[in-house]
Amino acid sequence: MPLAPLLIIFTIGMPMSAQQRTQARSMVISRSGIVATSQTLASQAGAQVLARGGTAMDAAIAANAMMTVVEPMSCGVGGDLFALYYDAKSKKLSGMNASGPSPAAMTIGRLKELGHSSMPQDGIHSVTVPGCVDGWRKLHQKFGKLPWRDIFAPARYYARNGFPLTEIIQDHWRNSVSKLHDSEYSRTTFLKDGRAPDVGDIVRNADLAKTLDLLAEQGADAFYKGAIAKGILETSRKRSGLMTAADLDSFQAEWVDPIKTTYRGWTVYELPPNTQGVGALAMLNIMEKLPLQDQSAGSTLAWHYRIEAQKLAYQDLKKYLADPRFFKMPLEGMLSKTYAAERAKLIDPEKARCDFEPGNPLPAKGDTIYLSVIDREGNIASLIQSVYLSFGSGLAVEGFGFHLHNRGGLFEFDAEHPNALAPKKRPFHTIIPAMMEKDNQRIGFGIMGGLNQAQAHAQFVSNIVDHGMNLQSALEAPRFTKLNFSGCDVMVEARIPANVREDLTMRGHVLDVQGDFSGWMGGGQAVMRDEQAKINYAGSSPRKDGAAIPEPEDYFSGARPKKR
């Protein structure tokens, strides 16, 4: 079979010699499956599940469960989950929204009675129903192959026997020490003599092992109806929380249709509101109207155009994004190419705007972990899961070894806002998985970091499409991020050349220069299937501790390779 058609995406824009390249890592390339996560033990766990005959979804859940052990400040069963899954046999893309609503008794008025003048950012009143476990259940029921019990084996093993703490995760842990001191249980469970464990320290969590045992043996009902539910409700009761047994028992994760746009011949998929995926697509639509493909990836004008497109897209995100069960946002209008063209006209190529306002898209007629998995059949899981801010609400469920998230902190306290707090309502959600496809190539990708995510997605897509980068290079390339909705301030990585930063400053951008591989820009993972060659590719961002790890073949047995 000729190689040329198979390598088009990876030869565009690559250096003549590998010795001259700017990316630090090579892609992982395999005929077998690959698992890419932000911690190597989680990637290894998923790869071993693939080797046992599991699907991409089996491996994704196993890796996610493992991440709850090795990176507990970022994810866990006390948080929410979103996923995209491409089923190679049916050629269908499915979306999962496993984000939980506020308790039925929670209202703005009730919180005001309790003394709050704004939405709590931690504590029991920032907690919404955790959706992760029911998301796992529904995803496994539809796309799993291995027994539910088996996919928890790696996480159970390491929670009980311990693992050596890695560098970037240790830094996040150390920065959360004061938050963990707020609770005696958190202090004794997650700190060592009152401090964060050091790099290389063996970390164990026997209570989390018990939680994982219950989930493995009793299923998701243990979390929403059984012993774990009782622990959550007791944690809430002790702090005068409003969550009830009915809030937990009634929760159902939801299958949703992905939303999409096209970008210079590629189709890019995100999940619909209440996630910010629409922001990534709107930003790409604006960027498509700008001559980015005529610029080098590191040119001043390319950076300027991308930053200005982000500002425009995020203004609409702030104004309109909410739970669609409570507010009919102008989604199709926001994704309209005509609307994007009008918004793009507001960008001055010579000057930064600090005062963009939301547009008027017409209604149509009628701290987080991300992982991606591809298996040998070409199924792709793009999954993201979070407890929001580091260690979530700061409240760990006593006796069960995990924290409840604080996703409710993203509600608005203004009753007139589309995203206003209301009973049984899901808040604005920052975490988003994504996919993109063209011809025989299909990519599952995601990049972490709160409001960073939608703008990081758009930059990743542009790196692939406009500048011919491969997966690893596109993940590693310098990025910007803007973590607010106004002004000309923007964070950039120090790898952007000094002369380009000077030119951006002259255009009016107020740069906050971060490190070479700044965590503010978000770590990410990506996998790709070349369907014609039946070859899989993967990349993993150096902004995290993880790696992409291929599924091992059964070479010690002497068996012939499995058919593909």
What's the pLDDT tens digit per position in 399-427? 999 999 999 999 999 999 999 999 999 99
3-class SS of residue 323: coil
CA 64 – CA 55 distance, rounded (Å):
14
**37, 128, 368, 481: which is the annotated catalytic residue?**
368
Task: Give the DSSP letter of residue 31.
Answer: S
Q: What value does the mean pLDDT take over residues 308-337? A: 92
> What percent of the chain shows pLDDT beyond 90?
87
Reduced 3-state DSSP string for 143-200: HCCCCHHHHHHHHHHHHHHCEECCHHHHHHHHCCHHHHCCCHHHHHHHCECCECCCCC
12: pLDDT strictly greater than 50: no
Q: What is the pLDDT of residue 296?
A: 87
Q: With b meaning 16 or more CB within 10 Å and e meaning fewer, what string describes 252-269? A: ebbebebbbbebeebebb
Token pair 């972990």: residue: 369
Mean pLDDT for 41-61 is: 98
The residue-averaged pLDDT of 249-262 equals: 97
Going by pLDDT thresholds of 50, 70 and 90, the confidence category of residue 216 is very high
- Give the domain ranges of the chain: 22-30+256-367+430-551, 40-253+368-410
For residue 187, what pLDDT is reported?
93
Q: What CA–CA distance (Å, rounded) separates 128 from 386?
A: 13
Per the annotation, the verdict on 368 as an active-site residue is yes
pTM of full prediction above 0.95: no
User: What confidence category does residue 367 fall into, taking pLDDT thresholds of 50, 70 and 90?
Assistant: confident
Mean pLDDT to the nearest integer, 319-343: 92
Mean pLDDT of 8-16: 39
Rounded-to-integer distance, Cα 492 and Cα 502, Å: 12
- pLDDT class of 6 with cuts at 50, 70, 90: very low
Instruction: Give the confidence band of 356 by pLDDT, cuts at 50, 70, 90.
Output: confident
Q: Residue 222 — pLDDT band, cuts 50, 70, 90?
A: very high
The tokens of 365 are what? Answer: 């007629």
Model confidence at 15: pLDDT above 50: no
Residues 104-140: tens digit of each pLDDT: 999 999 999 999 999 999 999 999 999 999 999 999 9
Higher pLDDT, 4 or 73: 73
Beta bridge partners of 66: none
Say yes or no to pLDDT of 297 above 90.
no
Taking only the tens place, the pLDDT of each residue in 458-507 is 999 999 999 999 999 999 999 999 998 889 999 999 999 999 999 999 99
What pLDDT was estimated at residue 5? 37
Rounded average pLDDT over 138-146: 98
pLDDT for position 8: 39
pLDDT bucket at 563, cuts 50 / 70 / 90: low
- In one-letter notation, the amino acid at residue 275 is T
Per-residue pLDDT band at 365 (split at 50, 70, 90): very low
Q: Alpha-carbon torsion 452, 455, 458, 462, what sign?
A: negative
Q: Give the pairing of strands 259-263 and 266-270.
A: antiparallel
CATH class for domain 22-30+256-367+430-551? alpha beta
pLDDT for 7? 39
Provide the 8-state DSSP code for 17. S
Strands 547-550 vs 34-37: parallel, antiparallel or unpaired = antiparallel
- Percentage, residues of the chain above pLDDT 70: 95
In this prediction, residue 557 carries a pLDDT of 75
pLDDT at 561: 63
Q: Tell me the pLDDT of the chain averaged across its residues.
A: 93
Q: Read off the pLDDT of each residue in 319-333 and give the average, rounded to a whole number.
A: 91
The mean pLDDT value for 60-80 works out to: 97
Alpha-carbon separation of residue 405 from 112, 130, 440 (angstroms): 21, 7, 39
Calculate mean pLDDT across residues 290-309.
93
Tokens of 462: 């542009």
- Does the pLDDT value for residue 363 go beyond 90? no
- Beta strand ranges found along 250-293 (DSSP E): 254-256, 259-263, 266-270
Q: What's the CA gap between 77 and 57, in Å, rounded?
A: 17
Q: How far is CA 352 from CA 162, 301, 355, 487, 507, in A?
A: 50, 11, 9, 10, 6
Spatial neighbors of 54 by CB under 8 A, at least 6 apart, are: 62, 144, 145, 146, 151, 375
- Please compute the mean of the pLDDT values over residues 363-369 and round it to a whole number: 60
Looking at residue 3, what is its pLDDT? 39
Half-sphere exposure of 89 (CA within 13 A, CB side): 5
